Amino acid sequence: MNPIWQNPPQKLTINPQEVHIWKTNLDQSSINVQNSFKLLNEDEKNKAQKFHFEKHRKRFTIARSSLKKILSFYLSISPQEIEFTYNDYGKPNLLEKINNIDLQFNVSHSEDIAIYGITCHYLIGVDIEYIRPMSEAENLAKRFFSIQEYKHISLLSSAKKDREFFKLWTAKEAYLKAIGKGISGGLEKVKISNYEPRQFISLPHSNNINYNLVYLTPHHNYLAAIAVQYNQQTYHYWQLN
């Protein structure tokens, strides 16, 4: 899917039948980075300053401040008022005292592009990858994917192998991020069909709850996967400028 990214409306609302996907470019001017840095709390500022390379400091600063801006639109508070708690695997959640609409969210970034998934009530996970040559794709598939998925990838031409690897990887990551476990939840246990439309065919820790799988191309040479608890949702795609 290659969505049409739009500017969000002045007054932004969301209901349980909607999924909002946001995109922003992390390569921004020094002025924007400085202004974004002011939106971070002390812990976030310390984390930003610990990055060795300036480009990584900038990307973290823009990605985190953008998340706080986006969430503030829905909650009608300032970005500085956005506070998080973290589960044992590091997944952030909004503090209950400011989250009166049960907003759920997830974030992923790769190189200069970040995406954000927002829902109301339903768990969501997102993952984005910059598509690049992966000489180790087959070895990684053998190590982290199911036997069937590894065999499927091993039979592909080198031109198709990289993209198929990222299709499987992003979907697995998106689901495991949705349930708050990350890759420790078992990449090989999350199984995806190798036919179109791609869908989850086996999910660990799901308690028989189905998840939708949606792929999109947020930017040239990028691939993203969205995993969201099943419902009849409508997707909206917003650009954060």
In this predicted model, what pLDDT tens digit does every residue of 3-42 receive, in sequence order? 899 999 989 999 999 999 999 999 999 999 999 999 999 9
Instruction: Give the model's pLDDT for residue 206.
Output: 82
The per-residue pLDDT for 205 is: 86
Q: Mind listing the pLDDT tens digit for each residue in 86-137?
A: 999 989 999 999 999 999 999 999 999 999 999 999 999 999 999 999 999 9
pLDDT for residue 219: 93
pLDDT interval class at 158 (50, 70, 90): confident
**Largest Cα span, the chain:** 52
Query: Which pLDDT score, from 0 to 100, does residue 194 have?
Result: 87
Cβ neighbours for 34, distance < 8 A, ≥ 6 positions apart: none
Confidence grade of residue 231 (pLDDT, cut at 50, 70, 90)? confident
Predicted confidence at residue 233, as pLDDT, reads: 87
pLDDT in tens, 162-203: 999 999 999 999 999 999 998 888 999 999 998 889 999 999
Which amino acid appears at position 119 of this protein?
A: T
The whole-number pLDDT of residue 3 equals: 83
pLDDT of residue 185: 87
96: helix, strand or coil: helix
Q: Give the model's pLDDT for residue 107.
A: 97
pLDDT at 230 over 90: no
Looking at residue 184, its pLDDT comes to 85
pLDDT above 90: percentage of residues in the chain: 87
All structural domains of the chain, each given as residue ranges with its CATH number in brackets, are 18-239 (3.90.470.20)
pLDDT value for 148: 93
Q: Please report, for residues 77, 78, 187, the alpha-carbon distance to residue 68 in angstroms, rounded to integers and kept in the order given.
A: 10, 8, 29
Buried b / exposed e over 40-56, threshold 16 CB at 10 Å, is: beeebeeebeeeeeeee
CA distance 225 to 213: 7
